[in-house]
Amino acid sequence: MTAAFTFPGQGSQTVGMGKALADAFPVARAVFDEVDSALGEKLTATIWDGPAETLQLTENAQPALMAVSLATLRVLETEAGFSVGRHAVFLAGHSLGEYSALAAAGSLTIADTARLLRIRGQAMQKAVPVGIGAMAALIGLDFDAAVTVAKEAAQGEVCQAANDNGGGQVVVSGDKAAVERALEIAKAKGAKRAVLLPVSAPFHCRLMQPAADAMAHALAAVKVLAPVAPLVVNVLAKPITAPDEIRRLLVEQVTGTVRWRESVAFMAAQGVTHFFEIGAGKVLSGLVKRIADGAVGIAVGGPSDLDAAKLALAASATA
């Protein structure tokens, strides 16, 4: 078997995501009901009816995206014969997607994951006042060049490479003035594009330390089991299975770089040929094709994707 299951991060959310699955399959509806119960509110109403501005709030988007991913997985299990334990050589998730991956692998319960992501979203938003921090995408520079740009731009402030997404896309994060300086430095070094991102906080940099502290406290109170398949973690781009290490690296992830390019390259080097993106959007599937030559990215987020996913799973078993 040469398949990996991947789980999307923030930015993939859209109003109405997951509704077709929930309408068609009781197992999907049950996941949304479980998330609503865990949070003590009807997050599902926001997911399906909006408004978009409310769904995009970090504290809502994070548990919402997890809910869609797990609802999709449950349908894949019941309708397409998917099994994390039998079919996934590795699991990986982009930022908050690591929590979805851990819930998929039985390491965390869905209810605990929803509550952790609500805490994570709130803590990340509160860590830095609105307008103080920023993030920017640097297009057309490799990771080492982007790291150099961030160091030059810092000038005593915080500016770090936050996401190494692959395909010549690196996101930098930190103090707003430093990130703005990075835009100009990147352009001078040959970046094709350098643009500020419409985000409400500077994620994955040292300014998020208060949020990391909050997650250390929250994770210490939650039971974490060994996942049924290894998780390729963002901050190492290597697989882990030990619960204590999972806790530690989930905390480190809040301020650390999302090493997505290296994670996908590692999985491909281990023989993974099919990457199933489970949940909302197609961002990760697009990145896979740019990172790993010959790899197949399959996005599964609705009923119309099930037949193709089943065929791809069969193909991955013989690849």
Handedness of CA 197, 201, 207, 211 (dihedral sign): negative
* Strands of the 193-196 sheet, one edge to the other: 159-166, 169-175, 133-139, 193-196
**Closest of 117, 190, 184, 113 to residue 150, by C-alpha:** 184
Given a cut of 70, is residue 35 above it in pLDDT? yes
- What residues does CATH 3.40.366.10 cover in the chain? 3-127+208-318
Instruction: Record the pTM.
Output: 0.96
| pLDDT, tens digit (0-9, with 9 covering 90-100), for 203-238 | 999 999 999 999 999 999 999 999 999 999 999 999
Give me the amino acid identity at 108: L
Residues ≥6 apart with Cβ < 8 Å to 277: 6, 7, 8, 283, 284, 285, 288, 297, 298, 299, 300, 301
Architecture of the structural domain at 3-127+208-318: 3-Layer(aba) Sandwich (3.40)
Q: Any catalytic annotation for residue 204?
A: yes
Per-residue confidence (pLDDT) for residue 319, from 0 to 100: 66
Alpha carbon distance 234, 263 (integer Å): 7
Per-residue confidence (pLDDT) for residue 115, from 0 to 100: 98
Q: Residue-wise over 252-283: b if at least 16 C-beta within 10 A, else e? A: bbbbbbbbbbbbbbbbbeeebbbbbbbbbbeb
Structure tokens at 85: 């334990």
**Closest of 38, 304, 37, 36 to residue 47, by C-alpha:** 36
| pLDDT, tens digit (0-9, with 9 covering 90-100), for 293-315 | 999 999 999 999 999 999 999 88
Q: Any catalytic annotation for residue 304?
A: no
Fold of the CATH domain 133-199: Alpha-Beta Plaits (3.30.70)
Per-residue confidence (pLDDT) for residue 1, from 0 to 100: 62
- What residues does CATH 3.30.70.250 cover in the chain? 133-199
> Band of the pLDDT at 23, cuts 50, 70, 90?
very high
| pLDDT, tens digit (0-9, with 9 covering 90-100), for 103-132 | 999 999 999 999 999 999 999 999 999 889
Set 87, 94, 204, 274: catalytic member: 204
Set 12, 69, 95, 316: catalytic member: 95
